[in-house]
Structure 1
Amino acid sequence: MAGIIETIKFAGTLVLALPAALAGLELLVLRGQTGFGVALLGLAVGLVVVQHWLTTPTDVPELLAERVVGTVAKESDSESDDEP
């Protein structure tokens, strides 16, 4: 499940990717400029894919915090099952 920080990052990426995709579609479909249209669509898709899969140095503390919280939460759940 995505956290609020990941959602905000994704929205920021879409702010840049959607105008490029719409311009690419317009160039491709309406104006017949295939090269520029495909390039802009590729740029938009690339932005979203890179944002989703690339880990940047600023993401490392967030990833470590998620692992620590996940480990602590799992230990707490197992202890509560042992108690009557």
Structure 2
Amino acid sequence: MVGLFDSIKLVGVLILAIPAALAGLEFLLVRGEPVIGAALLVLATALVVGQHYLSLPTSVRGLLLNGVLGSGSADSESESRDD
């Protein structure tokens, strides 16, 4: 299931990044405006790279959930031993 959610997030980012990249290429190559073209290409690249590196990895999510759920179960185990 995690792969499906990651794919959906990637498609959502690509929906925004591809038009920005194409517009950047047009400004850069056709219109002769390198500053705007390069800025749009950097923006498109930053969207895709940022989505990949800034999203929380699954293993970290699992560790956080395990830590939260594990601490609750440890308390219940110690209470059951006291009885």
- Kindly report the root-mean-square deviation, in angstroms, between the aligned alpha carbons of the 2 structures: 2.6
- 1:49 maps to amino acid: V
Task: Compute the TM-score of the two structures, normalised by the length of structure 2.
Answer: 0.66
- Aligned residue for 2:28? 28
- 1:32 maps to amino acid: G
Task: Compute the TM-score of the two structures, normalised by the length of structure 1.
Answer: 0.65
Gaps of 5+ in 2: 67-83
SS in 1 for 2:20: helix
Tell me the matched-pair count.
63
**1:1-84 mapped onto 2 (5 Å cutoff):** 3-55=3-55, 63-64=61-62
Q: State the Cα distance separating 1:64 from its structure 2 match.
A: 1.4
SS in 2 for 1:32: coil
- Amino-acid identity (%): 48
Aligned mates of 1:47, 1:10 — CA distance in 2: 10
Rg (Cα) greater in structure: 2
Aligned mates of 1:13, 1:43 — CA distance in 2: 12
Gaps of 5+ in 1: 69-84
- 2:41 maps to amino acid: L
